[in-house]
Amino acid sequence: MPDEKPYTLYRGGRKKGKVPAARPQRAAQPTRTPEAPRRRRWWLWLTLTLVGALVFTLVWGFLGFRAFSSGVDGANERLPQSAKAQLAKRDRSLLSTPTTLLVIGTDGGRAPGRGDANRSDSMLLVRLDPETHRIAYLSIPRDLQVEIPGYGTSKINAANQIGGPALTLATVKELIGLPIDHVVVVDFDGFRELIDAIGGIEVDVPKPILSNKFDCPYKPARCGDWEGWRFAKGPQTMDGRRALVYSRIRTNQLDPTDSDVTRGNRQQIVADAVGDEIASLGTFLRLPFMGDELAAPLATDLSAWELAQIGWIRFRSSSSLRCRFGGTPSSASGESVLLGSEDNVAVASMWLGTSAPLAPPKGDLYGAGCTRR
């Protein structure tokens, strides 16, 4: 075997020294899967999900609004033309300017003895201000003595019995000295049906109540021992019947400071709760199936779109004001009346937002004033 030469031959010549060891091979790097396609798939699924949710919401909302609009058409037909003639003529959106709404709750219904009843058991003025996101309520006691146009002096609840919602609107406009833009009329049965249609309402009762005896739910033999309607303090769910009773209570046997004037606060609490429930997600999801039931108990001039605007204002509202007119208890022609005072003028200004709100005087069962919520 020939001697090994102490050099290595290369194509370009030779180089002295030891023969170098074989060049070490680099360890193979693991193959990386490109991230871009995976990321693109993730964003694709997210986009499709969002688009699908948006399409579902729009379609579901359209179906619900269509059902609701059908019910509102019937509610528009139930409001007499004479009442519509008393309303202010406006072509502006409710979302751009303040709006005044009168809610009239009558004592009529299908129950025995109520077929011919048509007095306004409750009157609630609602002021909606979309610019300040403020809702203000003003309760008018049903026994307040006022001038009924064309009929002289009487309790304000008599206006509806004499001339329906048209005369009630005329009387309230003269009382507050302002035009009224819209009106909603509902009787006892309709009020109960509305609350049952939305699945009940959540009400936080501020104090225990034991009412006087009215509308006993039992047979005559048991009604003799029945003490009255009871409401415990704290949050509770009310169906239509319980909510109606809670709104109507004039005497609390557990608290002598309650009166016909203070019950206006309960009516405002219930109105707030109804607004919360109508604007809730649960009602939205059920709207295609029961949208027409929401307006079925009502008579109103408001269109479905205008009611939707009120719902949006209600949803965005950041504060509310609860006001009430008051007066001095008296009697006229053998019946109890409430004589209005100058404080009611100041309360109207608070309700409009032109002056700071002041609470009713403590200890005054019939005092006027406003409280923030």
Residue 304 in contact with residue 68, Cβ under 8 Å?
yes
Task: Determine the Cα–Cα distance for residues 177 and 370; give it in Å rounded to an integer.
Answer: 19
Asked if the model's pLDDT at residue 339 lies above 70, the reply is yes
Asked if the model's pLDDT at residue 23 lies above 80, the reply is no
* pLDDT category of residue 46 using cuts at 50, 70 and 90: confident
Looking at residue 373, its amino acid is R
Going by C-alpha positions, the residue among 144, 138, 72 that lies closest to residue 101 is 138
Provide the percentage of residues in the chain whose pLDDT is more than 70.
Answer: 86
Strands (E), the chain: 7-10, 13-16, 99-106, 120-129, 134-140, 145-148, 152-155, 182-187, 201-205, 209-210, 230-231, 234-238, 299-300, 319-324, 328-332, 335-339, 369-372
Mean pLDDT of the chain: 85
Asked if the model's pLDDT at residue 338 lies above 90, the reply is yes
Is the overall model pTM greater than 0.85, yes or no? no
**pLDDT for 87-126, tens place per residue?**
998 878 899 899 999 999 988 766 665 556 678 888 999 9
Task: Determine the Cα–Cα distance for residues 162 and 274; give it in Å rounded to an integer.
Answer: 29
Res 79: pLDDT: 95
| Strand duo 99-106 + 182-187: pairing | parallel
CB-based burial, 198-233: b 16+ in 10 Å, e otherwise: bebbebebeeebebeeeeeeeeeeeeeeeebbebee
Task: Determine the Cα–Cα distance for residues 207 and 89; give it in Å rounded to an integer.
Answer: 43
In terms of average pLDDT, the best of 34-48, 142-156, 327-341 is: 142-156
Res 51: pLDDT: 80
**The token pair that represents 330 in the structure block:** 């008296």
Res 291: pLDDT: 79
**pLDDT for 192-237, tens place per residue?**
999 999 999 999 999 999 998 888 889 888 898 899 999 999 999 9
* pLDDT category of residue 143 using cuts at 50, 70 and 90: very high
DSSP bridge pairs for 339: 328
Res 37: pLDDT: 61
